[in-house]
Structure 1
């Protein structure tokens, strides 16, 4: 475990979140946010940005939702389990929707390959953390 902020260890325990799961999830989400931002920028700079408009939009939506989720997770869920559960569900959905389109281009666009991998991991991290909330 490489907790991104040692102060979160105590908060994670109080929020009934596994510190390791919290750390792994935030790491995956931050990597995802970087990947979707770079991917969207790369798609806009390519020869046919109009063709990639929906994928760019999904990447931008994913970036925004992931950022909001990270901010709440940085507070170890803020104590509102229902809000955190909904946010994790929305984050997983945003990652899955971005992944859906980038995975189609992963074979020929390196940025989409990286993005598809990062969004898949982030969606899984959200689902895993969400399951931990249910069982806590």
Structure 2
């Protein structure tokens, strides 16, 4: 998160919200994207792959939405507040859906447990960010 904070601080324009909350959200979003990508890949390596198709799908959907959200939030020049709020809301929903799916498999697969936790943390940060986007 240190580099994210420094990049926000180095930007010539003021961020569209509190820079600490923005940096925290971007960091959690990037962590979640990586966790979801890794979880989907781990699911593909499991013997009971047919039982994990829904988990793989939600992992990949969540990862893609997180990647897009993190990228858009990193752009501070002339943001559309409406777009930002919609994207962060979509990210929170994707994280909630993915966490619920991963939690179904958490007792059997450590990667699902870890991914579910990353998704819940990301969802929380997204909801916190929604409160301060101005």
Normalising by structure 1, report the TM-score: 0.90
- Unaligned 5+ runs, structure 2: none
Find the counterpart in structure 1 of residue 131 from structure 2. Answer: 131
Find the counterpart in structure 2 of residue 35 from structure 1. Answer: 35
Q: Is the 8 A contact 2:8 2:15 kept in 1?
A: no
Q: CA RMSD in A?
A: 1.9
Query: Equivalents in 2 of 1:13, 1:101: separation in Å?
Result: 39
Find the counterpart in structure 1 of residue 96 from structure 2. Answer: 96
Structure 2 counterparts to residues 1-136 of structure 1, below 5 A? 2-4=2-4, 6-9=6-9, 11=11, 14-76=14-76, 78-133=78-133, 136=134
Query: Equivalents in 2 of 1:123, 1:132: separation in Å?
Result: 15
After superposition, the Cα gap between the structure-2 partners of 1:77 and 1:57, relative to the gap in structure 1 and judged at 3 Å, is farther
Which secondary structure state, in structure 2, belongs to the residue aligned with residue 7 of structure 1?
A: helix
Normalising by structure 2, report the TM-score: 0.91
Query: Equivalents in 2 of 1:106, 1:48: separation in Å?
Result: 14
Query: Equivalents in 2 of 1:79, 1:112: separation in Å?
Result: 34
Aligned residues: 134
The Cα shift of 1:108 comes to 2.3
